[in-house]
Amino acid sequence: MTIRRFYADPERFSETSVVLDEDETRHLRDVLRLRTGDEIRIFDGKGREFHGVIETVEKRRTLINDLTEVPPTSPESPLDLTIAAVLLKGDKLDLVVQKAVELGVNRFIPMTSARCDVKVGDAAKRAERWRRIAMEATKQCGRARLMEVADVADYSNLLDATDDPDLTRIHFSERDGQNFEAVSGSTRILAFIGPEGGWDDTELEKAKAAGIVSITFGGRVLKADTAAISIASILQHRFGDMN
């Protein structure tokens, strides 16, 4: 029998119980048809997961008792990976966000750039949708840590704001880059992924001036959404736990 997983904010936990909010209660009661006495799992979004038993199901809350901490189904990668991807038209980033969660990405930053043709206001409205997608993907893939979905950032401002000596910044480009031998091992990586039309020349120069390594995948040209998913996989293989 499959044991269903639910999310609860850390503040909702006590030593032996936890209270699910209205949204999780609705899903538990009306969609999954769970009842008093059923066993479930609850994760706190910070990396901890618990087994518990449904005590009461009310209209806006569910009380879970007999909490026992258990290992998450999917362990976290030792690589602290952030993907910063330029906004794409339509719902293309929906799939990127979902797969980023499955691939163990810790933070996702949607960006604007010189060749981005998506309005910032439209993207800002979608940020909450991406957070909901990240939540559902976390439940399904077994992680106990929620991937952070940041507010929309400007590419140039993000470059200036991430000058951290302990953070390896990698600029993925369809041209003017090196191979992976230029990247040394790291436990914290920020990967910049460009728009469908590629990086502007001034952006490539700005990255170079900031001392950021640019990587090009030989002669392959990938769609921007394909690139984001592929790059997350490759980085987890080389520096994380998918090896």
Distance CA 116, CA 97 (A): 18
Give the domain ranges of the chain. Answer: 5-70, 80-239
- List the CATH code of the domain at 80-239: 3.40.1280.10
What pLDDT does residue 222 have?
A: 78
**Residue 63 belongs to what H/E stretch?**
strand 62-70
Q: Which residues contact 111 (CB under 8 A, 6 or more apart)?
A: 84, 85, 86, 87, 152, 153, 154, 155, 158, 192
- Tens of pLDDT, residue by residue over 200-233, are 888 888 888 888 888 887 766 778 889 899 999 9
Tell me how far the alpha carbon of residue 172 is from its chain's centroid.
Answer: 18
What pLDDT does residue 178 have?
A: 67
Mean pLDDT by 10 residues, the chain (243 residues): 90 94 95 95 96 95 95 93 90 94 96 79 83 95 95 87 80 76 80 86 86 78 87 91 84
- CATH superfamily, domain at 5-70: Hypothetical PUA domain-like; domain 1 (2.40.240.20)
In this structure, are residues 113 and 86 in contact, taking their beta carbons and an 8 Å threshold? yes
Could you check whether 5-70 and 80-239 share the same CATH topology? no
What pLDDT does residue 215 have?
A: 83
